Amino acid sequence: MSKDPRSLMADEPFAAVCIRRAAVADAAEIARLSVQFGHPVLVRELCARIAALDEIPSQHLAVAEGSGATLLGWIQVERRLVLVAGERAEIIGLVVDAAARRRGVGALLVNAAQQWARAANLAEIIVRSNVVRDASHVFYLAMGFSRVKTQHIYAKSLLG
């Protein structure tokens, strides 16, 4: 039995959080949040990527907006067709502002991703989490995910 994600929250939940599809106008805030995730990216690059993602039906990028001018978080989920596993959704990015963590924002974003996946008739959603992100492991287990695999990821530059 999984724990209720709200039982992990240190602070009170936000009174009003709107989860909505991301827009190019969100690029600066997404860039700010991405630095907290350890992946700095230029705003101009994000503008182009958000616009491109918006045109791809297998991609969903959503943001959590509070009452202020800053975003509380973002999530990217995609529909994947894997030869040996079939079709499923995969969360490929989730960031919650450090000031908003443990207040239900991540759970709202993951629930929105799950709703998007269900609407696409996908039966499973997965997420990969870096081994050093202990808090995210606890979070995903509390959200009802099960740890099914540990792996290494290798990268190779194809430039020069």
Give the residue from 60, 75, 63 showing the smallest Cα distance to 122: 60
Please state the domain extents for the chain.
Answer: 22-142
List Cα–Cα distances, 75 to 16, 19, 45, in angstroms: 18, 10, 17
Could you tell me which residues are beta bridge partners of residue 97? none
The model carries a pTM of: 0.86
Asked if 84 contacts 124 with a C-beta cutoff of 8 angstroms, the reply is no
CB 153 within 8 A of CB 116: no
Count CB neighbours of 113 within 10 A: 23
Rg for the chain (alpha carbons), in Å? 16
Task: Please check the confidence at residue 13 and state whether its pLDDT lies above 90.
Answer: no
Tell me the two tokens of residue 26.
């969100």
pLDDT tens readout for residues 49-58: 999 999 999 9
pLDDT for the residue numbered 131: 82
Q: Under CATH, which number does the domain 22-142 receive? A: 3.40.630.30
More confident residue, 152 or 56: 56
Please state the rounded mean pLDDT for residues 70-99. 96
The DSSP result for 52-120, as a single string, is HHHT-TTEEEEEEE-SSSSEEEEEEEEEEEETTTEEEEEEEEEEE-GGGTTTTHHHHHHHHHHHHHHHT
Q: What is the pLDDT of residues 91-135, one digit of tens each?
A: 999 999 999 999 999 999 999 999 999 999 999 999 999 888 888
Please say whether the beta carbons of 110 and 91 come within 8 A. yes
Summary mean pLDDT of the chain? 90
- Percentage of the chain surpassing pLDDT 90? 77
